[in-house]
Chains A and B, each alone.
Chain A
Amino acid sequence: MTEKISRETVIKVSRLARLSLGPEQAEKMTAQLAGMLEHFRDIDALDLAGVEPMTQPYPIKNVLREDVEVESLNREEVLGQAPAAESGRFRVPPIIGFDV
């Protein structure tokens, strides 16, 4: 982790994150992220060869329940909280036909 984060990278990452940062915001974000990443270089000094990554604190695996029907959320109640719903479904804007 040596290179400094560029404005171009920040804009690319903002697209990946589905955030539309304006030019000014991108500038500010680049400076702030660069400052943090600089601080985070402290771990470069560590020898991490052979260290097992730790993704969760308590080792629980394959948590399953009995395959029986249980009551689910109320569909009307759920759709009632959606920004747009129609005929028992979530409604979204067109997903094709535009430049994505």
Chain B
Amino acid sequence: MNAEAEEQFREFVTARWHALLRTAYLLTGDHGQAEDLVQTALVRAHRHWTRIRRSDAPEVYVRRILVNLNNSRWRRKRVAEQVTDVLPEPPSADPHAAYDVRDELWSAVLTLPPRMRSILVLRYFEDLPEAEVARVLDCSLGTVKSQTSRGLDRLRVALKREPETARRDR
């Protein structure tokens, strides 16, 4: 890679790191894994940067790598840390956070399969249109729609709310 491309990569990392890290955290639910995921994605992106940088939106490519890396890690069942003696996470800055319904929802989100969670994160955090989500995940629009619907239903069940499909079937 030439110096100009390297500099451009550096600028990209500096500018987009935090946004990518936020997405990665929502995908993994763990700060450490999120950072590892972003770095792994950036290492991959760096290897193909001369090609990626020519595109209009390098971030789309990097985000795609990020999401697919996360999904494939799970698909291959390679996320397998077995902690035998874990320190408790530091307490939340917000003492009332534990009582927030968002915690309940977040806990439910973490139980979703990674691909389903990816779709929800891309739809409701990144605010990507369904077609763009399909492009990032390299799947059909129908898959995005059905996975979104099923994901929301699973969250409703977890929150003990009536699933949308149940209401429709009635």
Determine if chain A interacts with chain B.
Answer: no
Q: Could you tell me which B residues sit within 8 Å of A by CB distance?
A: none
